[in-house]
Amino acid sequence: MVLSDLGRRINSAFQDLSKVPTVNEASIDQLLKSVCNALIEADVNVKLVSNLRTKVKSQVTALLNDKANASWNDAQRRQRVQRAVFDHLVALVDPLHGQTKTDDESGAAVAAGNAGPGDIFKPKKGKPNVIMFVGLQGSGKTTSCTKLALYYQKRGFKTGLVCADTFRAGAFDQLKQNASKINVPFYGSYTETDPVTISAAGVASFKQNRFEVIIVDTSGRHKQEQELFDEMREIDAAVTPDLTIMVLDANIGQAAEAQSRAFKEAAGYGAIIVTKLDGHAKGGGAISAVAATSTPIMFIGTGEHATDLEPFRAQPFISKLLGMGDMSGLMDKMEEMQMNGGQERQREMLKKIEQGGIFSIRDWREQLGNIMGMGPLSKIAGMIPGMGQMLSGAGGDDEAAGGKMKRMMFITDAMTAEELDSDGRIFTTPIRSKKPPPSESKQVTVAESSTAAGKSKKKKKPQPKVRMNARARRVARGSGTSVKEVEEFLMQYNMVANMVKKMGGKQGWLKQMQGAGAGGKGKMPSPGMLPPGMSREQVMQMQNALPPEIKAQLRQPGGRERLMQQIQSGNIPPELAGAMGGGGMPGLGGLGGLASMMGGGGPGGGGMPNMAQMQQMMQSMGGMGGMMGGGGAPSS
């Protein structure tokens, strides 16, 4: 059972609960039975599953039997049960669940469920930070060392790799080859056989050259190999690491608990990297190891490439598992793209749109390249609420979707500079319609004349019919595609260009939203204004389908602004995430418009979260007086 299968089974249990007419003890027991069976089959320790069942049952029973909650309807009771299960699933993979940590720089409290790698360990600029890797043979230590080196290199750290694995044949060559691929300096020796000497010399050399992140790769070992464990302690004493990371194979199963305890006692590691979660790994063993050692997961490995290392956050991980998306992960991807040199170009693009400039085919090509550079489309879709299930439900896969995007890039490659900088009309030729035969003269009264004139003023000018011209045929031949594909590409471009046109200019959406969501000086749109493409009835339908907790928050003064800040930071409340199309959580299927804003509005409905549109929707909800009993908070 792979993790996606675990998510589907838990989601199915939630959906079964939503079908029962009354939420009672029997329906709760059935839900917990289904969830617990799925966890056990995923190799999660039986004791952990039993504890989860007991805690959820106790919490839910207390809530439902509380007289203060007697007014809850069945929908509210279901949401409370599902929220309790969600919270305890988060607690399974988060040993610090329920606690808070203070950020070293901002001083702000960070909820443990949303703590990322920077909250577990934050390297200091200008100082050497030594990280030592330990783990079993074949767990993926050497590959993970390379991935972590690239991760910190992209964030501006001067990074180096040390090979202290003298036990495995080929370890030196593997790490050296990986280091050369990502352009990270490497230290090792073909002749020295003492790993303690190599690790100490390598760390000293990198420190002398003022490297900021020094990663030491050690030999794989087993808890029964006492000599190798003694060697690991000696390396630890020689390099005095700032952080020791245990690399854990997601396929290890029930043996993970005993092995992780042995390594914890010997090396005292402070973080875990779980590898091979992209294959047929059950993953439950890694969860058991987290609970057994009270050590947080820092990263997860999701592929063979050097970029396939994802920061781990407990709450978004469970949210993504249940099909409710991972907005914080999406924000990380976008931030990473900016770090790779795209920030200045995106700033120029934003300025151009704001000033009402033409969104050319070249601009559209750059955006397609950015999307492709974020990784496999299935991973990106899985981070957007509702999109992961929509992609799989439509039968789409990475190969098909990626192939289509590549063909679109081929089409732009076959264009000239003039064509790339155009608005697409250069590829079309108007079709001249034949003039109708002159009609017989007819006497018209003054009244009829004025009526006809009034109608002609109201009548919109019809769009001229066009056909693909010789340029389009030349591009099709040059790109190895068909004229129809070129036409489809231009249609998609025109849809995006029209949307961008509405955003730009003095009266555009971008100008109205500027600064409103990020604490700037811009103004929020006036209450009651509707998001583009949505009617007042659609907004009212979405508002009526919102969970009670979200409605209550929107009624409070400043509640709308706080909710938008949560969404923009990637910390979407589970109740709202469910309403956006997340599997079996609250509010399924009734919010197509909201899912569309989050990128999941159906095939071809965009892929990135439209925060401006969401802000406008929240403002609309807040401004429709009395809709939620309070008329919403005043606009800022």
In the predicted structure, residue 437 carries a pLDDT above the cut 80: no
Question: Percent of the chain scored above 70 by pLDDT?
Answer: 60
What is the per-residue pLDDT across 166-183, written as a single tens digit (0 to 9) for each? 888 788 889 999 999 999
What is the DSSP code (8-state) at residue 567? Answer: H
The maximal CA–CA distance of the chain, rounded, in angstroms, is 111
pLDDT mean over 182-194 = 90
In this predicted model, which residue has the larger pLDDT, 566 or 502? 502
In the predicted structure, residue 632 carries a pLDDT above the cut 80: no
pLDDT at position 528, please?
44
What is the per-residue pLDDT across 273-326, written as a single tens digit (0 to 9) for each? 988 877 665 667 777 788 778 888 899 888 888 888 888 888 878 877 776 655
pLDDT mean over 458-477 = 79
pLDDT band at 6 (very low <50, low <70, confident <90, very high): confident
pLDDT at position 478, please?
94
Q: Which residues pair with residue 133 across a beta bridge?
A: 217, 245
pLDDT band at 471 (very low <50, low <70, confident <90, very high): very high
Model confidence, pTM: 0.61
pLDDT at position 435, please?
60
What is the per-residue pLDDT across 598-630, written as a single tens digit (0 to 9) for each? 333 333 333 334 444 444 444 444 443 333 333
pLDDT band at 199 (very low <50, low <70, confident <90, very high): very high
pLDDT band at 251 (very low <50, low <70, confident <90, very high): confident
In the predicted structure, residue 450 carries a pLDDT above the cut 50: no
Residue reference for tokens 């031949």: 477
Q: Are strands 100-102 and 109-111 parallel, antiparallel or unpaired?
A: antiparallel
pLDDT at position 552, please?
73
109: phi then psi, degrees, rounded to nearest 5:
-75, 135
In this predicted model, which residue has the larger pLDDT, 108 or 161? 161
Q: Are strands 466-468 and 428-430 parallel, antiparallel or unpaired?
A: antiparallel
- Distance between CA 18 and CA 88 in Å, rounded? 19
pLDDT mean over 470-480 = 93
In this predicted model, which residue has the larger pLDDT, 508 or 260? 260
In the predicted structure, residue 591 carries a pLDDT above the cut 50: no
In this predicted model, which residue has the larger pLDDT, 217 or 3? 217
pLDDT at position 536, please?
57
What is the per-residue pLDDT across 389-413, written as a single tens digit (0 to 9) for each? 545 544 445 566 667 778 888 999 9
Nearest one of 296, 387, 304 to 599, comparing CA atoms? 387
- Distance between CA 70 and CA 49 in Å, rounded? 30
Q: Which residues pair with residue 132 across a beta bridge?
A: 216, 244
pLDDT at position 177, please?
92
**Do the Cβ atoms of 553 and 563 come closer than 8 Å?**
yes
In this predicted model, which residue has the larger pLDDT, 586 or 349? 349
pLDDT mean over 191-201 = 91
List of E strands, 201-327: 213-218, 243-249, 271-275, 297-301, 309-311
Q: Which residues pair with residue 160 across a beta bridge?
A: 214
In this predicted model, which residue has the larger pLDDT, 283 or 98? 283
In the predicted structure, residue 382 carries a pLDDT above the cut 50: yes
pLDDT mean over 209-226 = 85
pLDDT band at 45 (very low <50, low <70, confident <90, very high): confident
> Cα–chain-centroid distance for residue 547?
23
Question: Percent of the chain scored above 90 by pLDDT?
Answer: 19
pLDDT band at 596 (very low <50, low <70, confident <90, very high): very low
pLDDT mean over 254-263 = 80
pLDDT at position 161, please?
95
Taking the C-alpha atoms of 408, 413, 418 and 420 in order, what is their torsion angle to the nearest 10 degrees? 30
Question: 572 exposed, middle or buried (CB, 10 Å; 0-12, 13-18, 19+)?
Answer: buried
